[in-house]
Structure 1
């Protein structure tokens, strides 16, 4: 069973965070949510989430995927935390997966993980950064390049989570999770 770390910061986008947590748990993965500081996290629209543990407690764990929800100022808080950069680089060096949605791909960029890769984000987030000529920005709903997976925003959160399920457990597991959701245009039985 895959083990996944989802860090949460004040100002994270709740639609993205909850969608990722919910669908990845429906797939049977061991999902660990970790707050940058102890206690509840107030998301970008005021929703309160209670992480499973603190990032200090989660930092020593072994993960197959670390995925960052976007939202502002949540993505900025994640980006300012050296533990996040350290974990992202560690997982990437181990060949594990790292992912980010909405404004959070800028965290991957600042950690140096988008060099020579294709990536997507909320419009305007990555375009204003100095990424170098070897980074290709796309408008794809979900963009995978090697062990890095990025997505556009709240409206793509379900597609992103389902792509992560397929990546970690294959198309049958994705179908098992997606069919009961009754998504218009989604995979059906």
Structure 2
């Protein structure tokens, strides 16, 4: 079970990341059945190393099976979550994204975060399957898993970059871009120096978005 900040990892976890203005940053990551594991576990790991309180929320159960049939234990159900997150994270996966799209409460969280100008981060199929139908990508630049953009309307400006950022929306292409996706989230929650420093400690080359 992933929970809390893994202080025993010895990598990352800069004290300056823990508190900004005496407020610890919080991320809400929603797990749907058949989610893509790499796209969920990577941001959880990276953000917790940065001192972010990451809450993993399941939809119908705390035991959530990923696309590779590994069962993950969420911290709580989405219906139980009463926090005020700084970023909403939506992993992909073909069936996982569709399950997010159909789930009660997900669209409401997207609308709530967007209306308050808070960060929304989606990867792989999630930008196309979950975000696009809500209209939050209209007149914005976004990316997704290659091919999924074919269903987008003309209002969405498709990008072919690993990660795209437009206003409060962060989108990314897939499992292979999950680290860049995660470091961009760290950069936007804190600053570029924090993200670059953490990447170096994890032996990864990240220069900023």
TM-score (norm 2): 0.84
1:92 corresponds in structure 2 to 114
2:163 corresponds in structure 1 to 142
Residues 92 and 22 (structure 1), Cα distance of their counterparts in 2 relative to 1, 3 Å cut: same
In structure 2, C-alpha distance between the alignment counterparts of 1:113 and 1:105, rounded to whole Å: 10
CA positional deviation for 1:173:
1.4
1:37 corresponds in structure 2 to 60
Listed one character per residue, the Cα deviations across residues 21-67 of structure 1 (whole Å, up to 9, x for unaligned) are: 00010000011000011231110011111000001011x32111001
Question: Residue 82 of structure 1 is aligned with which of 101, 104, 123?
Answer: 104
Question: Root-mean-square deviation (CA), in Å?
Answer: 1.1
CA positional deviation for 1:186:
4.0
4+ runs deviating over 6 angstroms = none
* Unaligned residue ranges in structure 2 (runs of 5+): 1-23
Question: Residue 150 of structure 2 is aligned with which of 112, 116, 127?
Answer: 127
Q: How does 1:1-189 map to 2 (within 5 A)?
A: 1-58=24-81, 60-106=82-128, 107-129=130-152, 131=153, 133-183=154-204, 185-186=205-206
CA positional deviation for 1:19:
0.2
* Unaligned residue ranges in structure 1 (runs of 5+): none
In structure 2, C-alpha distance between the alignment counterparts of 1:53 and 1:108, rounded to whole Å: 23
In structure 2, C-alpha distance between the alignment counterparts of 1:135 and 1:53, rounded to whole Å: 33
TM-score (norm 1): 0.93
